[in-house]
């Protein structure tokens, strides 16, 4: 008999498995229908011996000391600050838009102070910032919105930014300085030996049994267990009874080049050309030294693995119906990006899992992240 049956071995499921076993001595069965742990953060060595992320780049950043310290029990870190260039008007310029972006794009020599006026003269403030279009047009105006955001978003989501909630683009700043970092969080680092290694260490405990390649719905009746933590898509748990929640998918194409370094930045975004949105050169993220280099191209897809919940009002409304069903399902706890239908960062999911652990055990939150 297992105390907990946990569905999904990504961040949410693995953190809870670790905490319940190591922190509370519970017997845990962790299932995943894929044949590996780590969820979408799973990475592995390809045929050439290069460490690559199977489901696309995952860049860790957080301002939560609690989350960072918790994960630090299972990995050492490699300091890494993410930088991205966008291919616009035949040039590679920094994104988030900053002082260098504008000066290079328009061949100007503005100061930060002058750039503030430049943006102010172009920004069109919406009475209420509701959509992803409102966010960007409200900061930099329509022309820059068209160059950097409109087509990228249409490609990535299959929707116009005016049809997506503000949250999709709101986390991307616009700067008048020359700071070209993608994130400004306090802790920015990558697991030194990769995500999979970190998950392996998290789940290495005698009270955790991991079963891979197993579908929860097929085995739930035959495995004796007391309670369930479910981290898969919430609509699938309830057999899509109110209809399917939409997710956006991606196809990743990998290409290994016979050169040490291929592109001038970890990621190059292509808002206006090519069917793919961005190209990541894995080496920059992993710090691996190797005579060759692997690139990942991201092709947006309507069908496929459910990567991104699509933040827009009608989807939120449909999710709320499932959420109400979940609240009325005793003995099952829904946690993680897919089970709560949120466009979340990895650190937010870890925080959500630690919070649920604190709630389940009644332990104060600050006492929870203790590795044995
Ligand atoms: C974002 C975050 C990630 C996490 C995740 C949530 C990255 C780089 N970013 O990933 O931290 O929060 O969402 O699951 O890991 N956009 C443009 N043009 C650009 C860049 C972005 O239009 O050049 C728009 C586009 O609609 C895009 C959105 O902004 O989907 C967010 O961009 P992103 O770079 O943060 O990428 P994403 O969504 O993969």
Mean pLDDT of 258-272: 98
Residues 234 and 140 in one domain: no
Residues 323 and 234 in one domain: yes
Has residue 211 been placed in a domain?
A: yes
Is the beta carbon of 137 within 6 A of some atom in ligand 1?
no
Is the beta carbon of 338 within 6 A of some atom in ligand 1?
no
Has residue 336 been placed in a domain?
A: yes
Has residue 18 been placed in a domain?
A: yes
Domain that holds residue 101: 84-170
Residues 92 and 48 in one domain: no
Q: Strand 187-191 to strand 77-79: parallel, antiparallel, or no bridges (unpaired)?
A: antiparallel
Has residue 34 been placed in a domain?
A: yes
Chain position carrying tokens 């609509």: 235
Model confidence at 289: pLDDT above 90: yes
Residue 73's nearest CA partner among 163, 171, 165, 191 is 191
Residues 223 and 326 in one domain: yes
Confidence band of 366 (pLDDT split at 50, 70, 90): low
Q: What CA–CA distance (Å, rounded) separates 173 from 98?
A: 9
Residues 13 and 158 in one domain: no
41 CA to middle of ligand 1, Å?
16
Q: Which residues pair with 228 in a beta bridge?
A: 5, 332
Alpha-carbon separation of residue 301 from 154, 191, 246, 250, 307 (angstroms):
12, 29, 12, 5, 10
Q: What CA–CA distance (Å, rounded) separates 194 from 77?
A: 9
Task: Specify the pLDDT at position 363.
Answer: 77
Q: Choose one of 108, 135, 170: the last residue of a domain.
A: 170
Residues 219 and 320 in one domain: yes
For residue 32, the surrounding DSSP H or E stretch is strand 28-32
Ligand 1 atom with minimal separation from the 337 CA: 14
Has residue 178 been placed in a domain?
A: no
The model carries a pTM of 0.95
Is the beta carbon of 153 within 6 A of some atom in ligand 1?
yes
Residues 60 and 128 in one domain: no
Q: What CA–CA distance (Å, rounded) separates 68 from 54?
A: 23
218 CA to middle of ligand 1, Å?
35
Model confidence at 367: pLDDT above 60: no
**Model confidence over 168-214: pLDDT tens digits?**
999 999 999 999 999 999 999 999 999 999 999 999 999 999 999 99
Q: What CA–CA distance (Å, rounded) separates 98 from 199?
A: 36
Ligand 1 atom with minimal separation from the 308 CA: 14
Q: DSSP letter at 127?
A: S
Residues 326 and 234 in one domain: yes
Has residue 254 been placed in a domain?
A: no
Residues 138 and 214 in one domain: no
Counted domains in the chain: 2
Mean pLDDT of 291-317: 97
Contact 289, 307 (CB under 8 A): no
Residues 236 and 110 in one domain: no
Residues 239 and 324 in one domain: yes
Mean pLDDT of 292-321: 97
Residues 16 and 55 in one domain: yes
What is the residue with the minimal CA distance to atom 12 of ligand 1? 345
Task: Specify the pLDDT at position 365.
Answer: 63
Task: Specify the pLDDT at position 371.
Answer: 46
Predicted ipTM of the assembly: 0.92
Query: ω before 338 within 30° of 0 (cis)?
Result: no
Q: Choose one of 143, 170, 197: the last residue of a domain.
A: 170
Q: What CA–CA distance (Å, rounded) separates 254 from 132?
A: 30
Task: Specify the pLDDT at position 257.
Answer: 98
For the chain, the straight-line distance linking the first and the last C-alpha, in angstroms and rounded, comes to 23
Q: What CA–CA distance (Å, rounded) separates 255 from 257?
A: 6
Confidence band of 134 (pLDDT split at 50, 70, 90): very high
**Model confidence over 17-68: pLDDT tens digits?**
999 999 999 999 999 999 999 999 999 999 999 999 999 999 999 999 999 9
**Mean pLDDT score of the chain, rounded to an integer?**
96
Tally: H helices and E strands in the chain = 15, 17
Alpha-carbon separation of residue 348 from 30, 342, 345, 355 (angstroms):
21, 10, 5, 10
């Amino acid at each position: 008999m297992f105390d907990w049956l946990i569905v999904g071995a990504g961040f949410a499921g693995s953190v809870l498995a670790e905490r319940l076993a190591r922190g509370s001595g519970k017997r845990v069965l962790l299932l995943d229908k894929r044949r590996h742990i780590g969820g979408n953060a799973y990475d592995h060595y390809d045929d050439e011996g290069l460490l690559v992320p199977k489901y696309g780049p995952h860049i860790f950043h957080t301002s939560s000391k609690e989350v960072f310290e918790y994960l630090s029990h299972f990995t050492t870190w490699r300091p890494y600050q993410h930088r991205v260039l966008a291919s616009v008007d035949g040039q590679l310029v920094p994104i988030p838009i900053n002082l260098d972006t504008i000066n290079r794009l328009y061949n100007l020599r503005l100061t930060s102070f002058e750039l503030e006026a430049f943006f102010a003269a172009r920004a069109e403030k919406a009475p209420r910032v509701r959509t992803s279009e409102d966010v960007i047009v409200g900061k930099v105006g329509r022309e820059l919105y068209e160059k950097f955001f409109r087509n990228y978003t249409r490609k990535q989501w299959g929707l116009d930014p005016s049809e997506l909630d503000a949250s999709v683009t709101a986390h991307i700043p616009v700067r008048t300085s020359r700071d070209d970092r993608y994130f400004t969080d306090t802790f920015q680092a990558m697991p030194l030996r990769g995500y999979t290694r970190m998950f392996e260490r998290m789940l290495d405990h005698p009270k955790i049994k991991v079963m891979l390649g197993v579908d929860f719905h097929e085995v739930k009746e035959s495995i004796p267990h007391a309670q369930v933590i479910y981290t898969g898509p919430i609509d699938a748990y309830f057999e899509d009874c109110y209809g399917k929640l939409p997710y956006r998918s991606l196809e990743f194409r990998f290409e290994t080049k016979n050169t040490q370094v291929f592109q001038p930045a970890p990621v190059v975004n292509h808002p206006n050309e090519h069917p793919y949105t961005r190209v990541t050169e894995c080496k920059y993220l992993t710090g691996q030294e190797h005579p060759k280099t692997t690139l990942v191209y991201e092709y947006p897809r309507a069908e496929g693995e459910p990567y991104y919940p699509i933040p827009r009002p009608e989807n939120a409304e449909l999710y709320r119906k499932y959420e109400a069903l979940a609240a009325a399902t005793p003995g099952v706890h829904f946690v993680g990006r897919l089970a709560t239908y949120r466009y979340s960062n990895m650190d937010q999911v870890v925080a959500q899992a630690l919070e649920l652990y604190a709630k389940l055990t009644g332990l104060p939150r600050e006492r929870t992240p203790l590795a044995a």
